[in-house]
Amino acid sequence: MKRLFVLVCALGLWAAAWAAPEVNIVPKPLNVETGDGSFTVDAATVVTVGRDASLRSVGELFAAMIEPVTGRAVKVKTAADGAKIDLAVDPELGEEEYVLRVTPAGADVRGGSPKGVLYGLQSLRQLVIEGEGTVPAVTVKDKPYFGYRGAMLDVCRHFMPVEDVKAFIDILAMHKLNRFHFHLTDDQGWRIKIKKYPDLARKGSVRKETLVGNLRTSTEYDGIPYGGYYTQKQIREIVRYAAERHIEVIPEIEMPGHGLGALTAYPWLGCRGENYEVWTRWGISKDVFCAGKDSTFEFLQDVLAEVIELFPSKYIHIGGDECPKARWKECPLCQRRMKENGLKNEEELQSYFMQRIEKWLNGHGRNIIGWDEILQGGISKTATVMSWRGSKGGIAAAKAGNTVIMAPNTHCYLDYRQTRQQEFEPLGQVKYLPMRQVYALDPYEQLTPDERKYILGVQGNLWTEYIPDFRQVKHMLLPRLAAIAETGWAYDRKDFEDFSRRMRQFRKFYDRAGYNYATYFFDGKDE
Kindly state the helix (H) or strand (E) to which residue 272 belongs, with its residue range.
Answer: none
Predicted confidence band of residue 425 (pLDDT cuts 50, 70, 90): confident
Cα–Cα distance, 341 to 351 (Å, whole number) = 12
Residue 8 covered by a domain: no
Residue 435 pLDDT exceeds 50? yes
Residue 195, pLDDT score: 98
Same domain membership, residue 161 and residue 54: no
pLDDT tens digits for 315-366? Answer: 999 999 999 999 999 999 999 999 999 999 999 999 999 999 999 999 999 9
Same domain membership, residue 246 and residue 309: yes
Active site residues: 186, 258, 322
Cα–Cα distance, 96 to 78 (Å, whole number) = 23
Residue 455 covered by a domain: yes
Predicted confidence band of residue 122 (pLDDT cuts 50, 70, 90): very high
- Look up the CATH number of the domain holding residue 228: 3.20.20.80
Residue 17 covered by a domain: no
Residue 7, pLDDT score: 47
pLDDT mean over 235-240: 98
Residue 18 pLDDT exceeds 80? no
pLDDT mean over 56-72: 94
Same domain membership, residue 191 and residue 113: no
Q: Which of 458, 410, 400 is nearest to 431 (CA)?
A: 410
pLDDT tens digits for 186-217? Answer: 999 999 999 999 999 999 999 999 999 999 89
Do 412 and 442 touch, CB atoms closer than 8 A? no
CB atoms within 10 A of CB 292: 18
Same domain membership, residue 170 and residue 105: no
Residue 9, pLDDT score: 47
| Last-in-domain residue among 142, 160, 193 | 142
Residue 8, pLDDT score: 44
Cα–Cα distance, 156 to 373 (Å, whole number) = 20
Same domain membership, residue 122 and residue 35: yes
Minimum mean pLDDT among 144-153, 280-289, 378-387, 413-422: which range?
Answer: 413-422
Cα–Cα distance, 187 to 284 (Å, whole number) = 7
Residue 157 covered by a domain: yes
Cα–Cα distance, 399 to 446 (Å, whole number) = 10
- By three-state DSSP, how is residue 273 classified? coil
Same domain membership, residue 161 and residue 130: no
Residue 14, pLDDT score: 43
Residue 173, pLDDT score: 98
Q: Which of 150, 173, 397, 352 is nearest to 251 (CA)?
A: 150
Same domain membership, residue 243 and residue 162: yes
Same domain membership, residue 275 and residue 185: yes
| Last-in-domain residue among 126, 142, 158 | 142
Residue 322 covered by a domain: yes
Same domain membership, residue 164 and residue 70: no
Q: What is the pTM of this model?
A: 0.95
Number of domains in the chain: 2
Contacts 24+ apart (CB under 8 A), 417-423: 418/476, 418/480, 418/518, 418/520, 418/521, 418/526, 419/520, 419/525, 419/526, 419/527, 420/527, 421/525
Q: Would you mind telling me the total number of residues written for the chain in this entry?
A: 527
**Burial category of 322 from C-beta neighbours within 10 Å (exposed 0-12, middle 13-18, buried 19 and up):** middle
**3-class SS string, 461-519:** EECCCCCCCHHHHHHHHCCHHHHHHHHHHHHHHCCHHHHHHHHHHHHHHHHHHCCCCCC
Cα–Cα distance, 446 to 461 (Å, whole number) = 23
Residue 428, pLDDT score: 84
DSSP type of residue 302: H
Residue 345 covered by a domain: yes
pLDDT mean over 467-479: 97
Same domain membership, residue 367 and residue 497: yes
Domain that holds residue 62: 22-142
Q: What are phi and psi of 327, to 5 degrees?
A: -65, -40
CA 227 to chain centre: 24
Residue 209 covered by a domain: yes
Residue 3 covered by a domain: no
**Burial category of 417 from C-beta neighbours within 10 Å (exposed 0-12, middle 13-18, buried 19 and up):** buried
Amino acid at 94: G
Q: Which of 512, 432, 447 is nearest to 480 (CA)?
A: 432
Residue 3, pLDDT score: 55
Strands (E), 143-283: 148-154, 179-183, 185-186, 189-190, 211-212, 220-221, 248-255
Same domain membership, residue 189 and residue 101: no
| Last-in-domain residue among 89, 115, 142 | 142
Q: What are phi and psi of 35, to 5 degrees?
A: -125, -160
**Burial category of 388 from C-beta neighbours within 10 Å (exposed 0-12, middle 13-18, buried 19 and up):** buried
DSSP type of residue 413: B
- Look up the CATH number of the domain holding residue 53: 3.30.379.10
Same domain membership, residue 232 and residue 200: yes
